[in-house]
Amino acid sequence: MEKRDKIYEGKAKILYTTDDPDLLIQYFKDDATAFNAAKKGTIDQKGIINNKISTKIFEMLGSHGVATHFVKSLSDREMLVKRVTIVPLEVIVRNRAAGSLCRLLGLPEGTGLVCPILEFSYKEDRLGDPMVNEYHIRALKFATDDEMEKIKALAFKINEALREFFKTINIELIDFKLEFGKYKNDIILADEISPDTCRLWEMGTGEKLDKDRFRRDLGNIEQAYQEVLRRVTQ
């Protein structure tokens, strides 16, 4: 697969065109940012680790009947993906209170929830990805009602599959962020699923195995990512 032009560079990944107009190469960088890029750094080997973790998770979700943009792994840092039009929403599912939900509602970190919470943010770095509800999404045409029905059903289905998967490797899935894309009249899962986009706590101890180690300067960041990779691929 020939790599052609860089069409997009985000905080953690780069997208390149290929000789097939329906396919892109997604390249994973070591760069890490937090708080809308106010904090910047790199996590050694992160690109390689997240490419491998995302690959494994997309394959697992595929086996559960969830359509994703993943086509195949190409190299340590590259995967071949379907070229989608990204729905400009960050779709967040929470199983336990952490991060911005704790700040929003003054909750202690780790507060239990009687059911999962689904949240949407409008993907616009200039505004810091503000939280929006389904009325904003409909009124401003960020997505159609039909697309939102598909996105909501997929988000909950993915949550169930991911929770179960992580449970088998002794990790509690606290929350995560998804991005969806439009592909030939369908909605499919895009972007990545990795310790950058999930909160993952060791069962029992609650030790953080995700990007909160970077956000909060907890140390042993690379080791935590490596540990997730080891378990995910064991």
* Binding stretches for ligand TMP (CB under 6 A): 92, 98-101, 129, 175-177, 197-199
Q: In this complex, which beta carbon is closest to ligand TMP, that of residue 78 or of residue 210?
A: 210
**Min CB(234)–ligand TMP separation in Å:** 23
Distance CA 43, CA 61 (A): 26
Give the DSSP letter of residue 64.
Answer: T
Q: In this complex, which beta carbon is closest to ligand TMP, that of residue 59 or of residue 125?
A: 125
**Min CB(92)–ligand TMP separation in Å:** 5
- The residue at minimum Cβ distance from ligand TMP is 99
**Min CB(184)–ligand TMP separation in Å:** 26
Q: In this complex, which beta carbon is closest to ligand TMP, that of residue 99 or of residue 116?
A: 99
Distance CA 51, CA 54 (A): 5
**Min CB(176)–ligand TMP separation in Å:** 5
53 token code pair: 């973790």
**Min CB(50)–ligand TMP separation in Å:** 11
From residue 108, alpha-carbon distances to 3, 83, 116, 173, 192 in Å are: 47, 40, 17, 17, 28
* 194 in Cβ contact with 53 (< 8 Å): yes
Q: Which residues of 190-229 are buried (b: 16+ CB within 10 A; e: fewer)?
A: bbbbbbbbbbbbeeeeeebbbbbbbbeeeeebbebbbbbb
Give me the helices (H) in the chain, please: 46-63, 99-105, 134-139, 145-167, 212-215, 221-232
Q: In this complex, which beta carbon is closest to ligand TMP, that of residue 24 or of residue 101?
A: 101
Q: In this complex, which beta carbon is closest to ligand TMP, that of residue 88 or of residue 99?
A: 99
Q: Which residues of 117-128 are buried (b: 16+ CB within 10 A; e: fewer)?
A: eebbbbeeeeee
Q: In this complex, which beta carbon is closest to ligand TMP, that of residue 62 or of residue 130?
A: 130
**Min CB(2)–ligand TMP separation in Å:** 31
